A = this chain, B = another copy of it.
Amino acid sequence: MTSSPTMAGIAVYPGQAGSIHRTTLPVPSPGPGEALVRVRRVGVCGTDQEIIHGQFGTPPPGTNELVLGHEVLGEVEALGPGADGVAVGDLVVTTVRRPGGCVPCVSGQTDMCADLAYTEYGIIGAHGFMVERFVMEPAHLIRVPAELERIGILTEPLSVVEKALQQAMLIQRRIPSWSPKTAIVLGAGPIGILGTLLLRSRGLNVVTVARRPGPHAISRLIEASGARYAATRAQSLAEIAAGLPPVDLIFEATGVADLAFDAMEALGNNGVLALLSLTGGDETKELPIARLNRSFVLGNKVMVGSVNSSREHFEMAVEDLGRFETLWPGLAERLVTRRIHGFDDPAQIAAEVEDGIKTVIEVG
């Protein structure tokens, strides 16, 4: 009798801050219709940090441990019986959410889950991808061209922005003459920066707004895409908007709710404000509700919340990563500001890094 082979991974005990640890799991084998994926690289995002800090996360049934990680790039290493749609050697990324039983979920729009009964790898109810290998049905894998190997890890966060932009465009079919020209992106973390690149790739004039006056690495990255960087420590959002043509589109990606409602007034008539931040906590703020409401009604404005993404958004993201490389060779990779090698130092993953944008773990 031989013991089954094992592999390393990174896990937490959800709800317990500081519980991040190296764990050991059996190496999975691909069952019928499944692909075995060898992990090359895993991204660390704000949601991971919330889980690491004990504020979020749910383990799979039957355990109190949750393997982290939902941004992953890997290579198909083997196929189980009957698995098709990917080939051994393909570089792939995977969608994160799996359906519950609600109508949007069973209709294929798991990102629009109505009863929040989904599972999410590495977040809610399923082990994630901070491991050496995982198995997945090819229907959930999206191929990444070899030339995008260095930035394919950005597919998942970009897919979240792709969905938000798609939602805005679908919503705005209500105004056939609408054609967005000016946008504000609130926040200059990975989502804000990727949102900036996406809107710039569509030809919009973009002002990306964060707290800290530039120049610094982030402001330079943003400006290299042709966007303008503005800091709320130097100028209020209202002042920034007043210096622009009517703002057709705003992405709120700061991670806090403070600017979300101010953005209602910064938005131009017929515009769309897309909220992308899953803000925790119980922050309150006194707001000019009569004025905000009036501005929204008189201007036929829209505010839409947008969370997660589906396969189509991952496919759009892979395509746009290619577009980014054509427009700005090497720029997207500048989002990766820190690389950790392997799973042996979990504390490194939990560390906050000043001026950092995105940490990735290089695996194997």
Contact = CB atoms under 8 A, between A and B. Distances in A.
Interface of A: 103-104, 107, 109, 111-116, 167, 170-171, 173-178, 246, 252, 256-258, 260-261, 268-270, 275-307
Given A173-B173, A284-B287, A269 B303 contact: no
B292 A115 contact: no
User: What does DSSP make chain A's interface, helix, strand, loop or mixed?
Assistant: loop
Nearest to A179: B103
Given A104-B270, A284-B286, A285-B289, 20 more contacts: A104-B178, A109-B177, A116-B298, A257-B294, A258-B289, A260-B289, A277-B293, A282-B291, A283-B290, A284-B287, A284-B288, A284-B289, A284-B290, A287-B287, A297-B305, A297-B306, A297-B307, A298-B307, A299-B305, A301-B304
Nearest to A262: B289
Contact of A290 (B171, B173, B280): B280
Contact of A296 (B112, B116, B258, B275): B275
A214 B143 CA distance: 61
Contact of A104 (B171, B175, B296, B305): B175
Given A109-B175, A171-B174, A298 B305 contact: yes
B270 A114 contact: yes
Contacts of A289: 257-258, 260-261, 279, 283-285, 287
Contacts of A296: 275, 303-305
16 contacts: A109-B177, A111-B300, A112-B175, A112-B270, A114-B268, A167-B174, A167-B300, A170-B173, A252-B293, A257-B292, A279-B290, A281-B290, A283-B288, A297-B305, A300-B305, A301-B305
Contacts of A167: 174, 300
Nearest to A271: B114
Nearest to A107: B177
A252 B294 CA distance: 12
A296 B112 CA distance: 12
Nearest to A177: B107
A267 to B, nearest CB: 10
A93 to B, nearest CB: 22
A306 to B, nearest CB: 6
A276 B297 contact: yes
A111 B177 CA distance: 13
A97 to B, nearest CB: 12
Nearest to A256: B290
A284 to B, nearest CB: 5
B293 A260 contact: yes
Contact of A294 (B103, B176, B279, B297): B279
Contact of A303 (B174, B270, B277, B302): B302
A176 B258 CA distance: 33
Nearest to A298: B307
